[in-house]
Structure 1
């Protein structure tokens, strides 16, 4: 209980403190006395119900602690319902400890903002605590020996994103490209389906990579991770669908592209990576294939192109419904080659050696055919970073539609300042934490 103190005694105490510290102003003393005379001395006590919310937490749950158990109170249940609470359940069901027995977990309606609910609950006099249901995980980054060289994964905050999820083999990602070297140790047993679509008709094949491009792209998306070998991929566990439609020179026809898109979507790909393009407007055939994929629940993510030009003159970047990716360098600058413009939705690390020798420090290190690794740069390298995070997001929240995946990625990316518009830069942790 607070001891009563007169105003004169309080002033004398402040005078003594002023002599010692020389820090309290007359205005400050007067303000304090004014508050006391208003009878709100209690406002000086710090709110102990809730702390600043940081770090990942379960998206549809809140933890509360009652002062007195009101879990069966109809009136209090109505107050919770007004905030979007659909159920409550005791956390420690068998505990006889009087403190622990007052903790309950609240289940929220889908889409309700946890932080807002916690803020409102902290105002309830009936509650002692209100806080998110925080997520914990083993604090270990991948043990792949080349992981420290992968600056792009740090740039998009993969270490924190991996606390939320590392991917699942149930999520299928399609690489429509030059093929993928399935014999590479990083892809052992992870290619669930492959076809050669170069003729315009997809036929079963190993779709091995007789170039290098598709294998490099696939490594960024989902090289086997935390296996003590080579590089780390964004998804530690994932299944690939490979549609080979580009030849060893990296070229292919429109019919081959369309066949690859349809093949991938029909066989369950949740995301398609198109690290390719041509200097023409989106054709009707390309648009129809993309529409088919999107309507089938497949997110289509494409490279903006490497011609340092407006991406509106590039395809499939100029097609409707796709997510268009520009490239950045290690300092969030637009890569000198990256196409740009209002149709570029999001940027991601693609490397930017800018005439200097290409190294892991300024380009993207990933897998190469023959069990090897190499550095490359381009919007082709930026795109699989976004595809990888999209797949990771779908492994955590598989019910998202293609339009929702796009919104989650773009809305939670980091604003960057570039010489020409290429959108905000991908942030994996913010994306997974928000969606």
Structure 2
């Protein structure tokens, strides 16, 4: 029987990713009686045997973790991993108290499969383990040259995790007048890339990546951060915008243009999908801006803490709902614009408290998609650190292609089909795939789609052509996967009417006043992993008295390194754009 026990234990332990520390060794310890463990605080156990606790202190025991709490073999539920200064600790436990500690194994050959920083292990840190941060950090600990932008309300610069080299730039940092939002920005910044491996509080996802912090919530700020070369920017704020996506796009032209600008400037924007409204059935199904706009990765919740089919329905691993089976209470946004899921309930992180300014971190620092979004933003920073030429689209494509899509098939998530994006964030897989040894920025399938130009058959306004011909508009699209869909949103000053604002190739049916056609064109492709989006500002001065009429197209100047807009019109009769 002992032979079978040991064989099973060894076979399973080889699949366990060990906690690594420069001065520690990892030991696997069997403790059959749970009563032997009286408490675990910050990864340090206290045993019911007083002399054993003396050894805990002597051998600097840390990172005490139950490996298989729900294993189908009962004896495996008694296996714990711990880190200590020397394996002599485990030898002493077994020799002195064989009934309490009957068996141990030493992980003799550390493998570079995971990295656990020295600020790992405080309360409710397990969400970082759930998304695979130790595996990601083993590949990349971020680069100080990679900057993550946070647009929020206030950042507590007295917090040790936001000091030293961490913050590259701080702008307009004014404390809010209300206590409920006092610590929001601090927690968002800390999760994205607060101080890490500094023996303090919690690790930040972006590890060594630096921060650009602005205490204003606006898309203007996101665009300006892009001008300062932020690799990714985070918006953990927004507005519930209803269920009519067409109306949303028609009334958010300025926000959408700011986001387009950041995207074309090489910056990935990540935003919170929204927190629904407890007690309001269906409320969480509506859209939330800016998360639901184009060129934004919208992040909603996935549970992380408790095992499936366990004793609780709260914060269940892989479940979108806060309470498994309850779509009304504490159920966060789910809609067709959501891109990915990350933990949002009961997250430990750094914090700021207006009533106690000495309190800098909490095991319950944040709950809400505000704190799910910066996990994705921080991972994007790590990805940029290992492959700085990745475009915003490639960052999104990799994050989605490596997501845990199995959660989409969980019974409680089926009701949200098509509204939870690609699945759950898998940081380790995303960073591994992004590495320049693995992924080429020249990958043909993930080149950014753009609208190369616009072909049109005539510039003669409807009603002014001798043969009745009216302008027909045909976008020329590069790097996209057909079929394409489109949306034409009129810009203030437009005087032309299209026959169908959702048609890829519409016809101008009427023009009034000065006959200016002025639209924001958005084209979507059919990429199966991450839908590509391209924009162009279309400005055409229709003519009423041209001497000749012939097919033409606008000039092809708007690649991704150029502004995707045409602000002026060539003064010559044929109206070719600059």
TM tier relative to shorter chain: 0.5 to 0.7
1:392-411 aligned at under 5 Å gives the runs 392-411=382-401
CA separation of 1:168/1:377 partners in 2, compared to 1, >3 Å: closer, same or farther? same
1:285-304 aligned at under 5 Å gives the runs 285-304=254-273
- Contact 2:149/2:232, CA 8 A, preserved across alignment: yes
Q: Distance in 1 between matches of 2:114 and 2:380?
A: 23
Q: Distance in 2 between matches of 1:145 and 1:412?
A: 25
> Does the alignment pair 1:195 with 2:183?
no
Shift of the alpha carbon at 1:167?
A: 0.7
Shift of the alpha carbon at 1:224?
A: 1.2
- TM-score between the two structures when normalised by the length of structure 1: 0.59
- Contact 1:278/1:315, CA 8 A, preserved across alignment: yes
Q: Distance in 1 between matches of 2:287 and 2:333?
A: 10
**2:360 aligned partner:** 372
CA separation of 1:278/1:166 partners in 2, compared to 1, >3 Å: closer, same or farther? same
CA separation of 1:230/1:343 partners in 2, compared to 1, >3 Å: closer, same or farther? same
Q: What secondary structure, in the 3-state scheme, does the structure 1 residue paired with 2:372 have?
A: helix
Q: Distance in 2 between matches of 1:269 and 1:140?
A: 26
Partner deviation per Cα, 1:66-124 (whole Å, 9 max, x = no partner): xxxxxxxxxxxxxxxxxxxxxxxxxxxxxxxxxxxxxxxxxxxxxxxxxxxxxxxxxxx
> Does the alignment pair 1:315 with 2:315?
no
**2:335 aligned partner:** 341
Structure with the largest fraction of helix: 1
- Contact 1:177/1:214, CA 8 A, preserved across alignment: yes
CA separation of 1:312/1:284 partners in 2, compared to 1, >3 Å: closer, same or farther? farther
Unpaired runs of 5+ residues, structure 1, are 1-54, 56-134, 197-205, 247-256, 352-362
CA separation of 1:263/1:209 partners in 2, compared to 1, >3 Å: closer, same or farther? farther
- Contact 2:142/2:382, CA 8 A, preserved across alignment: yes
CA separation of 1:235/1:317 partners in 2, compared to 1, >3 Å: closer, same or farther? closer
> Does the alignment pair 1:185 with 2:160?
yes
CA separation of 1:208/1:241 partners in 2, compared to 1, >3 Å: closer, same or farther? farther
**2:302 aligned partner:** 328
Q: Distance in 2 between matches of 1:393 and 1:229?
A: 25
Counterpart pick for 2:376 among 368, 380, 386: 386
CA separation of 1:386/1:138 partners in 2, compared to 1, >3 Å: closer, same or farther? closer
Structure 1 stretches of 4+ moved >2 Å: 135-140, 145-149, 206-210, 308-313
Q: Distance in 1 between matches of 2:187 and 2:395?
A: 24
**1:174 aligned partner:** 149
Shift of the alpha carbon at 1:182?
A: 2.0
Q: Distance in 2 between matches of 1:207 and 1:404?
A: 35
Q: Distance in 1 between matches of 2:146 and 2:351?
A: 23
Aligned residues: CA RMSD: 2.2
Q: Distance in 1 between matches of 2:255 and 2:176?
A: 24
Q: Distance in 1 between matches of 2:224 and 2:431?
A: 28
- Contact 2:114/2:136, CA 8 A, preserved across alignment: no
> Which protein has greater RCO, CA pairs closer than 8 Å, 6+ apart?
1
**1:106 aligned partner:** none
Q: Distance in 2 between matches of 1:319 and 1:225?
A: 32
CA separation of 1:291/1:390 partners in 2, compared to 1, >3 Å: closer, same or farther? same
**1:144 aligned partner:** 119
Moved more, 302-311 or 383-392: 302-311
Q: What secondary structure, in the 3-state scheme, does the structure 1 residue paired with 2:294 have?
A: coil
**1:224 aligned partner:** 195
Shift of the alpha carbon at 1:159?
A: 1.1
Unpaired runs of 5+ residues, structure 2, are 1-16, 18-109, 242-247, 278-282, 305-316, 322-329, 435-578
1:107-118 aligned at under 5 Å gives the runs none
